[in-house]
Amino acid sequence: MESLRNFLTGPRLLIVVLICAIPFVFLGTGSLGTAFSGSFGTINGEDVTENDIQIASGSAVQRFKSIYGEDFNFDMLDEDFKSESIKQELILQKVLEAGAKSLGFVNESTKNETKKMIVQSPIFQVDGIFNEGVYEAQVNSNGYTKEGYIDVMTNFAAAELFRTSFNTINFVTDAELLELVSLFEKSSDINFIKISFDGLMSEIINSPKELLDYYNDNQILFFSEEERSFEYISLLQSDYNKDVQIPDTYIENAYNQYLTRFDNSAQIRISHIMIDKMNYDSRDLAFESILKIENLLKEGNNFSMIASEFSEDIVTKDIGGDLEYFEKDIFPPQFDDAIQDLDLNGISEVVELDDTFHIIKVTEKNIEEPLSEEQVKDDLINELIETESFALMQDDFNESEEMILQNSSLIEISETLSKNINSTNSYTKESYDFELTDSQIKDYLFSSEAQMNQPFAIELTDRIIIVSINGINEPQLQPYEEVVEDVSKLLSEFKAIEKIALLSEELNGISNNEEISEFIGAYNYVINESFVDVKRYSSLLPREVLSKVFNSKSGVRLLSDANNRDKYIVDIVKFNSPSVTEIDQVLSEYTSFGEDVISTKMSQIINEDVFKTARVNLNNLIF
């Protein structure tokens, strides 16, 4: 399992997510049909659904295939190992999803990128063109609606964005630090060709017909957001305060209980000297021994010294017989009787138990006077109101849940509970700004489980809210005229992606320098450069490109995509190791070890933290 966790390195996981996210929802594993059933619980407050388990199982399959090849058969693994692999995938998936939601990574931008990824996925295409009919059939056959599938994939993409946003600090020994400096201060001589995505985009011209065709062929990208409105009943504990009845004898009884608690909380510390009857031939001989000790104490000898010398309690004799603070639930009642009338430093008579004799001394006494009944009256009443109002609210909550199970309407619940029904405006996921910000409400309202006019009770920190959706405005295809700018941008992006792929393939196949120069000269957005002594964290090239360079070997040509979608074709001429002098000059800069960490160790720390902080509450899962 450690190897599975440590596999989650940045570049690899990103490839798995972006390339495999869409297909693996439809994969699953054949042996899991009977392993998962019923209600599955939560992870970090996120509900675990059957779809989540299917995604986790598919992700586990893809992860092993990415390590061991496409021919790897996940079902041949041991059942326990398979289950543990899927469980770890599930935990990782839901913890990251919860984190992504808390930071707002599930937003319109992420959703739009997910839609574009769906449109570009071969699984939903016919003859290389996205087909909405195929898309709908595929997702419906796997239990999703079109919008529901987009939501699932949006959450998945947001979770990946959240994971890559982590930044941690690692610590190394001096030897490891020296090795690290040598590695990170290594430089490279490179030649590269860059194809600018934005430059290419700026030269693309779309005809009116192309725009209209793209709009018609990719209508899923231009639907409005679904809107939902709801009604709700709010059960607030403070609203029940007026319903609490104060019994006539309550104050008197509660005050007596207060006095009892007060007496029990008195701080009395005791020490003792013990004689064990089992150490003597008879009870009388043991009693003679404790009487001799009692006489020594009456003569004025120090209690602690006598305990150290004569006590037969091997646990306390070396600390003067100290038993710490007296508690009635721990010590025998004979001890309580013996110290009742003792003042500070008072010494008891001999106390006899079944197997032992004791002499007890009060070494500390901190007893305050209790407050009067009038002084604590308000606190006692408030305590009762707090307890009883919560109980009344819970009674209404339990009754509402029972009515929900009987398919009662929100109106029927409101009449039974004598509570008002409130209404909201229509919200999309992005425009949701309901006065109660708890994410449980939003998550339920926009989940596939939420149905029209079907009440659902949610227990929050300070109240209970019963919600029922009373309006759903389904996503509608927006008129072409209103989204023509978005159509133009998306079509240009689509063309640019295809054009860059063709150009890079063609350039990569040219080996003659003169032909390369001639080819590059024909395009304003293609350049050819050479750099010497480029460091790993140089600003001359994108970090993701340099990362790929420094994970390769001399003499290699590699193709790399930058995050801004520029394409790089890089020839690595050679690597240059730093000299001893150069290492000495920068070694001190690495002692804090802030930004420059080994990516594999960094990933390991991130994922260990994910699993450590996971609050797993699963049931009906055979792992």
Per-residue pLDDT tens over the stretch 536-561:
888 899 999 998 998 899 999 999 99
Look at residue 153 and tell me whether its pLDDT is greater than 90: no
d(CA 158, CA 615): 20
Q: Dihedral through CA 609, CA 611, CA 613, CA 617, nearest 10?
A: 170
CATH code: domain 267-366 is: 3.10.50.40
Mean pLDDT of 588-613: 56
Q: What is the pLDDT of residue 121?
A: 82
Span 247-259, average pLDDT: 77
Tens digit of each residue's pLDDT (9 = 90 or more) over 343-386: 889 999 999 999 999 999 999 877 666 777 677 778 888 888 88
At 87, is the pLDDT very low, low, confident or very high (cuts 50, 70, 90)?
confident
- The DSSP string of 414-464 is HHHHT---EE---B-TTT---S---HHHHHHHTSTT--BT--EEEE-SSEE
Which of 187, 178, 186, 183 lies closest to 588, judged by CA? 178
What distances in angstroms separate CA 235 from CA 36, 398, 420, 451, 460, one per listed residue? 35, 12, 10, 22, 10
The SS3 of residue 323 is strand
Q: What does the pLDDT read at residue 189?
A: 95
Q: Say yes or no to pLDDT of 6 above 50.
A: no
Q: To which residue do tokens 């030897």 refer? A: 175
pLDDT in tens, 391-427: 999 999 999 999 999 999 999 999 999 999 999 999 9
Q: What is the predicted pLDDT for the residue at 262?
A: 65
Any idea which of 41-55, 155-169, 441-455, 503-517 has the lowest mean pLDDT? Answer: 155-169
Most confident of the ranges 43-47, 167-171, 427-431: 427-431
Highest average pLDDT, of 71-75, 102-106, 216-220, 613-617, comes from 216-220
| Reported confidence tier of residue 166, pLDDT bands at 50, 70, 90 | low
Question: What are the CA-CA distances from residue 604 to residues 9, 59, 92, 598 (Å)?
Answer: 8, 19, 13, 10
Position 585 scores a pLDDT of 80
Lowest mean per-residue pLDDT among 2-6, 206-210, 262-266, 336-340: 2-6
Mean pLDDT, rounded, for 482-493: 94
- pLDDT value of residue 477: 94
Which pLDDT band, with edges at 50, 70 and 90, does 168 fall under? very low
CA 415 – CA 392 distance, rounded (Å): 16
CA angle 618, 621, 623 (to 5 degrees): 105
**Which of the two residues, 177 and 170, has the higher pLDDT score?**
177
Which residue ranges make up each domain of the chain?
A: 2-170+602-618, 187-224+479-576, 227-243+375-473, 267-366
CA-atom Rg of the chain in angstroms: 37
**Encoded tokens for 327:** 């508690």
**pLDDT > 90 fraction of the chain, expressed in percent and rounded:** 41
Q: How many Å apart are CA 623 and CA 69, to the nearest integer? A: 25
Confidence of residue 534 (pLDDT cuts 50, 70, 90): very high
Distances (CA, A) of 550 to 218, 224, 556: 40, 45, 11
- Helix and strand tally (H, E) in the chain? 22, 17
DSSP string computed for 585-621: HHGGGGSS--S---HHHHHHHHHHHHHHH--EEE-SB
pTM over 0.85: no
> Considering the chain, what percentage of its residues have pLDDT values greater than 70?
84
- In the predicted structure, residue 388 carries a pLDDT above the cut 80: yes
Return the ∠ at Cα 59 (arms to 58 and 61), rounded to 5°.
65
Query: CA of 517: how far to CAs of 189, 197, 567, 621, in Å?
Result: 20, 19, 17, 62
189-226: b or e for each residue (b if 16 or more CB lie within 10 Å)?
A: bbebbbbbbebbbeeeebeeeebeebbeebebbbbebb
Q: How many CB atoms lie within 10 A of CB 465?
A: 20
Q: How far is CA 570 from CA 197, 200, 296, 491, 556, in A?
A: 17, 19, 95, 28, 8
Asked which of 135-144, 205-214, 339-348, 599-608 is least confident by mean pLDDT, the reply is 599-608
* 397: nearest Cα among 228, 617, 618, 239: 239
| Average pLDDT score over residue span 443-459 | 91
Torsion of CA 204, 207, 212, 213, to 10 degrees: -80
Residues 196-223, mean pLDDT to the nearest whole number: 94
Side chain identity at 92, as an amino acid letter? Answer: L
pLDDT of residue 136: 80
The per-residue pLDDT for range 191-204, each reduced to its tens digit, is 999 999 999 999 99
pLDDT range class, residue 31, cuts 50, 70, 90:
very low
Output the average pLDDT for the chain.
82
Distance CA 602, CA 606 (A): 6
pLDDT for res 16:
34
pLDDT of amino acid 5: 32
Whether 455 shows a pLDDT value over 70: the answer reads yes
- Give the mean model confidence (pLDDT) for residues 438-449: 88
What mean pLDDT is predicted for residues 271-297? 94
pLDDT at 173: 62
- Comparing 108-112, 157-161, 213-217, 368-372, which segment has the lowest mean pLDDT? 368-372
Tokens of 565: 């979608």
- pLDDT, residue 37, reads 42
Q: Which residues contact 286 (CB under 8 A, 6 or more apart)?
A: 275, 276, 277, 279, 280, 357
What is the rounded CA–CA span in Å between residue 96 and residue 152? 13
Residue 601 has what pLDDT? 53
Give CA separation, 34 vs 29, 31, 74, in Å.
11, 7, 17
Query: How many residues can be counted in the chain?
Result: 623
Angle at 207 between CA 203 and CA 210, to 5 degrees: 110
**CA–CA separation, 557 and 575 (whole Å):** 14
**Which distant-in-sequence residues (6+ apart) come within 8 Å of 256 by Cβ?**
none
Mean pLDDT of 440-468: 91
Question: Would you place residue 261 in the very low, low, confident or very high pLDDT band (cuts 50, 70, 90)?
Answer: low
What pLDDT, on the 0 to 100 scale, is given for residue 619?
65
Q: How many CA atoms lie within 13 A of 388 on its CB side?
A: 15
